[in-house]
Amino acid sequence: MSRPGVLLDRDGTIIVDTGYVGSVDRVEFIDGAIEAIAALNRAGLPVAVVTNQAGVARGYYGIEDVEQVHKHMITELARHGAHVDLWLFCPYHTDGIIPAFARPSADRKPGPGMALAAAQALDLDLTASWVVGDSPSDVGLAEAVGARALHVGPPSSAVHGVDTYPDLAAAVRVILGSEDLTAPPGHTTEAGVPKFPSARFHRADSYGGAYVNEITRAFGTVDLEQISRAAKVLTAAHDRDATIFACGNGGSASIANHLQCDHLKGVRNGTGLTTRVHSLSTNVELFSAIANDLGYEQVFEYQLQSQARPGDVLIVISSSGRSPNIVRALDWAAAHEVPTIAFTGFEGGPARTKATVSVHVDSVNYGVIEDVHQGCMHLLAQYVRQARMTPDAVVTQTF
């Protein structure tokens, strides 16, 4: 499915236009431009630079000089936590003196060529995208492909019928629908984890892109060796016909309940394996009776005392890893030869260190942590299932 993106002019928009910038020593970033690109990155919006470079055709510098300027810009952007997804430039001009480049080209703005190439490379819906630049040719490019044009520069340079903003930073604030450009790149909590969200958003699509980016980043912090260890614990439990217990509070309770569904119903589909899986969070009558009579901190431990046996497995899901009922359940399991798997977030709390296997997500956003926990639960259940199927069955079955 195509997505919106942002096409940026280069000279006069990202760097100062001193006229045919063809060498690294002449590159000067406009104040706020790097931070603006970083904000687009955090919002999940693909960014492409589309720039006319007639200096090549006029003999002022060569293709390799343009590439060196872009390499320098890439390095400077990266130093401040920003990046451009695609760099495109048009070296052609009809008034050129270099024969290879002295011709017309549909790539030269306001021609649509570079925008169409960006759409192809980045899977963009140009009609939902923005073109930001300081010249009428940038506005013309936007009109040629049905994109939204934002003009940057002094009021005296305004293009009729198009909103003008003082600089790229101001234009990006409009794109993101945000009162500011979010926190500076690299802003983290005291624990060193990126804060999300770090600013107010006024557009759901922008927040959605940023949220997806944060899930991707957070999932990347999961230690896959711990996933492998968890899979071995689960597979061994099924092999010896042991019982797997799961528990969690709030949103984590729903993951525990879902785990029971996937391991009892899903794993059996195509394998014939009849597993023993129970969620300690699902029996509201028993759950509330224990909480009411003995205290909420005992709701999981009390059930384990009656149902669990040495060799069974306990899976706990806790974003904070600090919930007293979770910690007590882990302590009981450790004292009664019940291996444990913990899914945690934030700093991990006691659960992260008490569990036999720790699947930790470095995030400080409850929704993101729970989404990654749910994903880990799914992939473990599917791994266990496919490991017991024939290769032909894996190909033909729906997962």
Catalytic residues: 9, 11
The CA distance from 133 to 122, in Å, is 20
Burial state string for 221-237 with b = 16 or more CB within 10 A and e = fewer than 16: ebeeebbebbbebbeeb
Asked whether 362 and 218 are in contact (CB, 8 A), the reply is: yes
Paired tokens of 246: 């799961």
The CA distance from 119 to 276, in Å, is 50
| Residue positions counted in the chain | 399
109: left (phi over 0), alpha (psi -120 to 50) or beta: beta
Paired tokens of 303: 């059930």
Measure the N-to-C terminal CA separation of the chain; round to a whole number of Å. 22
Cβ atoms within 10 Å, residue 294:
12
Give backbone dihedrals phi and psi of 344, rounded to 5 degrees, phi first. Answer: -130, 170
Asked whether 33 and 168 are in contact (CB, 8 A), the reply is: yes
